[in-house]
Amino acid sequence: MPQLTKSAELFEKAKKFIPGGVNSPVRAFKSVGGTPVYMAKGSGAYLTDVDGNTYLDYVGSWGPFILGSMHPRITAALEYTLKNIGTSFGTPIEMEIEIAELLCKIVPSLEMVRMVNSGTEATMSAVRLARGYTGRDKIIKFEGCYHGHGDSFLIKAGSGALTLGAPDSPGVTKGTAMDTLNATYNDIDSVKLLVNENKGQIAAIIIEPVAGNTGVIPAKPGFLAALRELCDQEGIVLIFDEVMCGFRVALGGAQSLYGVTPDLTTMGKIIGGGLPVGAFGGKREIMERVAPLGDVYQAGTLSGNPLALTAGLETLKILIDENPYPELERKAVILEAGFSDNLKKLGLNYVQNRVGSMSCLFFTETPVVDYTTAVTADTKKHGKYFHSMLDQGIYLAPSQFEAMFISFMHTDEDLEKTIKANYNALVASGK
Ligand SMILES: *Cc1c(COP(=O)(O)O)cnc(C)c1O
């Protein structure tokens, strides 16, 4: 069992100066209990904490590390930029064109791209753009999908009245809540109902084409295509939020995997290679409305800075050069099959959802297809499972409703170790 003495000390101190001790809520371990682990170093698929314990990392900085931490090519590129270029100019730089051109080549729907500094910025900007373009105010999102912490997205489904959302956080105004409608993931009728009740008022439908923030929930066959058709009929801008699944489930994202083309795409995580980056882009006709070419305002002091773009560009180049996707799929299948065997041996029927190298083991026997079925998971059992895995040196996301990410750096030996730990942790969770 790893000792977390130093982590516990740091957490106590952090709580004095940082709300909840953390700069992003899930890091506080609230849903699994216990002390958050303070990491000191990352290398490949491994993390070392401040007490000297090492862990196999299945969080990957919440998605960016598809190539593991500190990939030598990315590190070298960053060093080069630091020494020879600089960290920021606030002027146009050549690298911006390079990454925009590359993104347009890789992601089917992109004709123009704007770089920003986070996924949240990307989704906020895409929604503003869709509103400006259509001249409409309302948007439809899906219950359980996460699009960052912009006001328009912190809206939960209202109780009773289907069409009225409610703020999901104090500080989000009722006015904002009125403009965001919640549909049910994988249920096209729920979307059609909202569209019909708000004829001519919906600017955009925004969706994670592989939902990754309620555990992992794949879109059912035909669901995304049905959304596309509905948006075409009604003049609604279809936004795929590929901040997590983009460059993860395939180089071209979920849209290339499923063959459905959105009007706008939001990106983040992997295209930052571990530095803060986001982007949004899509159809030329819509993107031409972005300032200064168009009238929809969007800006950023550090947007397109050379350091962040270097990490992103190098990541994309490695993904193109090495095509790690078949290998990631092979590894993900090994892990999934190993977990399945363990479940079978223990007479458990828990659900595993997976698309490529993102997966989730839900502590429920109910097939998970949307938010309602996801929350049937037994989070207490998951908490025990999480801590048993941690004790065995496997670092998972500290929440039932997060994805498990495999990186190119996980070896077959690492996977074997993880499968053994999974057996023990499943036993521990049952007690
Ligand atoms: C992580 C995430 C975001 C938010 O990105 P940040 O960089 O944390 O602001 C938005 N959408 C999806 C699908 C995400 O997974």
Per-residue confidence in pLDDT tens, the chain, 431 aa? 789 999 999 999 999 999 999 999 999 999 999 999 999 999 999 999 999 999 999 999 999 999 999 999 999 999 999 999 999 999 999 999 999 999 999 999 999 999 999 999 999 999 999 999 999 999 999 999 999 999 999 998 765 444 567 888 999 999 999 999 999 999 999 999 999 999 999 999 999 999 999 999 999 999 999 999 999 999 999 999 999 999 999 999 999 999 999 999 999 999 999 999 999 999 999 999 999 999 999 999 999 999 999 999 999 999 999 999 999 999 999 999 999 999 999 999 999 999 999 999 999 999 999 999 999 999 999 999 999 999 999 999 999 999 999 999 999 999 999 999 999 999 999 86
Domain spanning 72-322, CATH architecture: 3-Layer(aba) Sandwich (3.40)
Burial profile 104-131: b = 16 or more Cβ within 10 angstroms, e = fewer:
eebbebbebbbbbbbbbbbbbbbbbbbb
User: Where in the chain is CATH 3.40.640.10?
Assistant: 72-322
Cβ atoms of residues 224 and 253 within 8 Å? no
**Largest CA-CA distance found in the chain, in angstroms, rounded:** 61
**Cβ of 127 below 6 Å from ligand 1:** no
Ligand 1: which atom is nearest the Cα of residue 276?
Answer: 7
Distance in angstroms (rounded) separating the CA atoms of residues 96 and 110: 15
Q: Quick check: CB of 209 below 6 Å from ligand 1?
A: no
Q: How far does the centroid of ligand 1 lie from the alpha carbon of residue 79, in Å?
A: 27
Residue 126 Cα to ligand 1 middle (Å): 13
Instruction: Point out the catalytic residue in the list 49, 58, 185, 269.
Output: 269
Token pair in block for residue 375: 């929350």
pLDDT at residue 274, as a whole number? 96
Q: Does residue 370 carry a catalytic annotation? A: no
Q: How far is CA 43 from CA 56, 67, 138, 317, in A?
A: 10, 10, 44, 20
In total, the chain counts a number of residues equal to 431
Q: Which CATH class is domain 5-66+324-429?
A: alpha beta
Q: Where in the chain is the domain with CATH 3.90.1150.10?
A: 5-66+324-429
Given 49, 57, 151, 241, the catalytic residue:
241
In short, whether 120's Cβ falls inside 6 Å of ligand 1 is: yes
Report which of 185, 183, 189, 168 is spatially closest to residue 138, judged by C-alpha positions.
Answer: 183
φ, ψ for residue 125 (rounded to 5)? -70, -40
Q: What is the pTM of this model?
A: 0.97
Look at residue 164 in the predicted model and tell me its pLDDT.
64
Q: How far apart are CA 285 and CA 283, in angstroms?
A: 5
Taking CA 42 as the corner, what is the angle to CA 395 and CA 208, rounded to the nearest 5 degrees? 60
According to the model, what pLDDT value does residue 159 have?
Answer: 54
pLDDT confidence of residue 161: 44
Q: 347 C-alpha to center of ligand 1: Å? A: 36
Would you call 38 a catalytic residue per the annotation? no
Ligand 1 neighbour 212 (Cβ under 6 A): yes
51: buried, middle or exposed (CB in 10 Å: 19+, 13-18, 0-12)?
middle
Helices 72-84, 306-322: crossing angle, 10 deg rounding: 150
Nearest residue (CA) to ligand 1, atom 11: 147
